[in-house]
């Protein structure tokens, strides 16, 4: 194997590792936003709404990681997750 091919292969694995770490971190942030926004869904019973948000976040977390990391087009999953996180961050300001 020539040096160029070995360098390309190591650069590819490093890029995949960075993408996997970014996917996990972004998915965690979005899951935390889901739990935070869930407490705003039902004001009289915030504990039950937060528990429901935790269930939803736990169910969605592996799906978000796989969708973010596993998209065929480069960075399509990261962009999708960033948009979802932005929508969740703005949700309490938009909906009273």
pLDDT in tens, 51-68: 988 999 999 888 888 888
Residue 8 lies in a domain: no
Residue 41 lies in a domain: yes
pTM above 0.85, yes or no: no
Domain count for the chain: 1
Quick one: which of 72, 90, 69 has its CA closest to 81?
A: 69
Phi first, then psi, for residue 89 (nearest 5°) are -70, -35
Residue 1 lies in a domain: no
- Condensed to tens digits (0 to 9), the pLDDT of residues 72-92 reads 677 788 888 888 888 888 887
Tokens of 96: 């009273």
pLDDT band for position 18 (cuts 50, 70, 90): confident
Residue 5 lies in a domain: no
Residue 31 CB: number of other CB atoms within 10 A? 22
Q: Which domain holds residue 60?
A: 19-94
Cα–Cα distance between 50 and 92 in angstroms, integer? Answer: 14
Computed on alpha carbons and rounded to an integer, the radius of gyration of the chain in Å comes to 18
Residue 73 in 3-state DSSP? coil
Tokens of 5: 């091919």
């Amino acid at each position: 194997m020539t040096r160029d091919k070995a360098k390309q292969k190591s650069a590819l694995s490093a890029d995949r590792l960075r993408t996997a770490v970014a996917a996990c971190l972004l998915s965690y942030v979005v899951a935390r936003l889901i739990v935070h926004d869930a407490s705003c869904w039902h004001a009289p019973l915030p504990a039950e709404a937060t528990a429901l948000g935790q269930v939803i976040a736990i169910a969605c977390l592996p799906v978000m990681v796989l969708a973010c990391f596993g998209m065929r087009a480069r960075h399509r999953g990261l962009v999708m997750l960033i948009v979802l996180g932005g929508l969740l961050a703005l949700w309490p300001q938009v909906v009273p």
